[in-house]
A = this chain, B = another copy of it.
Amino acid sequence: MEIIRSNFKINLHKVYQAIEEADFFAIDGEFSGISDGPSVTALTSGFDTPEERYQKLKKHSMDFLLFQFGLCAFKYDHTDSKHITKSFNFYVFPKPFSRSSPDVKFVCQSSSIDFLASQGFDFNKVFCSGIPYLNQEEERQLREQFDEKRSQANGAGTMAKCPVTVPEDQKKFIDQVVEKIEDFLQNEEKKILDLEPCTGFQRKLIYQTLSWKFPKGIHVETLETEKEELNDAVGFSRVIHAIANSGKLVVGHNMLLDVMHTIHQFYCPLPADLNQFKEMTTCVFPRLLDTKLMASTQPFKDIINNTSLAELEKRLKETPFDPPKVESAEGFPSYNTASEQLHEAGYDAYITGLCFISMANYLGSLLGPSKVCVSARSKLIEPFFNKLFLMRVMDIPYLNLEGPDLQPKRDHVLHVTFPKEWKTSDLYQLFSAFGNIQISWIDDTSAFVSLSQPEQVQIAVNTSKYAESYRIQTYAEYVGKKREDKQVKRKWTEDSWKEVDRKQPIVPGPCSHTNSFTATGVIGKRNLSPDPQEAGSEDRELEEITDSELEQMDSCADPLPEGRKKAKKLKRLKKGTVADSPAMLFEVPDTW
């Protein structure tokens, strides 16, 4: 179901109902761009730490607009053993609702726009008919503005002692109001008189005129029509709040950017460091599952070659997988996976959900006795909760939202600096004596080179000691120096803080939502380092970059309702059980 500005309000109850009934959701977002700095390939390095990756995405991706949001709600029908879907495709645009409202500026990346154009994306629907939204700080400010206006209007002119000057074009309106009130006062049957809706200026004139015409006083009260206006302005954010408030499982494919964008656009600017981001995300979305991570992990890794969404969807129709029985709910148009509509967010969300169901059911089929339908609450899928796929990182497959990230050893990795003229072939030549190597560029003049055996690392460092054009150090040395540099830089930054501060645009304060963020701490569980071989890096081809860069997904939260409490309980349960088998995600036990 396509939702734009004009049909948003009349369909919102359908969205709420779908969220209310659903077992889980799948979501997906389309953005106006991916990286406003270097290209994504140049920006990301195969040896980024999760903190580095977060900082890079925060810096280079958050100025783009999430302008299409797909939501597909899945509900299992036990009688007919099939999933009922309700799919929504929302167009989103920060249309300013008044002269004083925020005038959002966002960046577009030509290649992303051109890609979406080639897929038949309708930009007019975004820019002419997109649903507006506010983040939490903007909502708070607007609420304050309304409160202030109302208190001014209610109090204004209570003491008017002379006739009010009513502008010519308002006279007829005010005269009619006075007439109505005089009729009302003479008619003893009626207890309340509702005046017609009017502008703030007209309201002021009414208050002033009445206080002069009826010096003994009559009670006039402004009804809160602003509440409706406020709801209209908050717009699409209400959908995200509802998803978040449900506390239900939210599934996405390669969803890190979707999650970051959703929080940034509909809640508050992203926090300064990764740990705060984890806290915030766990609070907004208590249960996330990334199908790209799931497909890249055992037992799927060995039987799924290409984890891009389109290929994954195709693969999961074939043995040993079983395409799930799915039907769209009455009144909802159905998607046909045979005629692909990839990169329409609603469709992408839909097939992401299908992929999740197929993979979950496959896990069930491995059980003895096998289980035909695995629910979104099943323990079988818990190992995949709250772990987001990390694109093109060689030895850290996911960002762990519930605790510290995996710490790969990297004792076989070298950091090399060289003249900017060097190409990949120069590096291969330099390390030709060491057999198979893997190169991961950092920038024009440096790269990580991983050797096949850690013992070779010291040999490489030693042989380079007298080299003039290049320099080799171990990964540990590199990290140590970087940490030192950071401390020096921090000092420098603090010294010149005032200077910098003056130039910064005014940014809203921390998310007004912080109270509830503290409710969920980062769990102090430490995962084992997975075998680098298991980390799924080879299957990341160029095709995958373009493809997956544009397939992401989102959602968010408010106070703690029913669903949220359940989610917390589940999480605690999980802490108890999973901590005993921390490597579970990579070594699926035979019992599965």
A103 to B107, CA, bound (A): 12
When C-beta atoms are compared, the residue in chain B nearest to A104 turns out to be B110
How many copies the complex holds: the figure is 2
A584 an interface residue at 8 Å Cβ cutoff?
Answer: no
Whether the Cβ atoms of B96 and A103 lie closer than 8 Å is no
Chain-B contact segment, one of A116-124, A381-389, A458-466: A116-124
Q: Which of A73-108 contact B (CB under 8 A)?
A: 93-96, 103-108
Chain A interface size range: 20 to 34
A124 to B121, CA, bound (A): 9
Whether the Cβ atoms of A95 and B110 lie closer than 8 Å is yes
Whether the Cβ atoms of B113 and A109 lie closer than 8 Å is no
A122 to B117, CA, bound (A): 13
A96 to B96, CA, bound (A): 31
Contact mask for chain A residues 106-137; partner B; CB cutoff 8 A; 1 contact, 0 none: 11111101101100001110111000000000
Residues of B within 8 A of A122 (CB): 124
Residues of B within 8 A of A37 (CB): 505
Residues of B within 8 A of A106 (CB): 107-108, 110
Q: How far is the CB of A151 from chain B (nearest CB, A)?
A: 18
When C-beta atoms are compared, the residue in chain B nearest to A32 turns out to be B108
Residues of B within 8 A of A105 (CB): 33, 36, 107-110
When C-beta atoms are compared, the residue in chain B nearest to A128 turns out to be B117
Residues of B within 8 A of A104 (CB): 109-110
Q: Which of A500-529 contact B (CB under 8 A)?
A: 505
Residues of B within 8 A of A186 (CB): none
A39 an interface residue at 8 Å Cβ cutoff?
Answer: yes
Q: How far is the CB of A115 from chain B (nearest CB, A)?
A: 10
Residues of B within 8 A of A109 (CB): 103-105
Q: Which of A32, A37, A110 counts the most chain B CB atoms within 10 A? A: A110
Whether the Cβ atoms of A111 and B96 lie closer than 8 Å is yes
Residues of B within 8 A of A117 (CB): 124, 127-128
A107 to B111, CA, bound (A): 14
Given contacts A103-B110, A106-B108, A108-B108, 18 further A-B contacts (CB under 8 A): A33-B105, A93-B113, A93-B114, A103-B111, A104-B109, A104-B110, A105-B107, A105-B109, A105-B110, A106-B107, A106-B110, A113-B127, A114-B127, A117-B127, A122-B124, A123-B126, A123-B127, A123-B128
Question: Which residues from chain A sit less than 8 Å from chain B, CB to CB?
Answer: 32-33, 36-37, 39, 65, 93-96, 103-111, 113-114, 116-117, 122-124, 126-128, 505
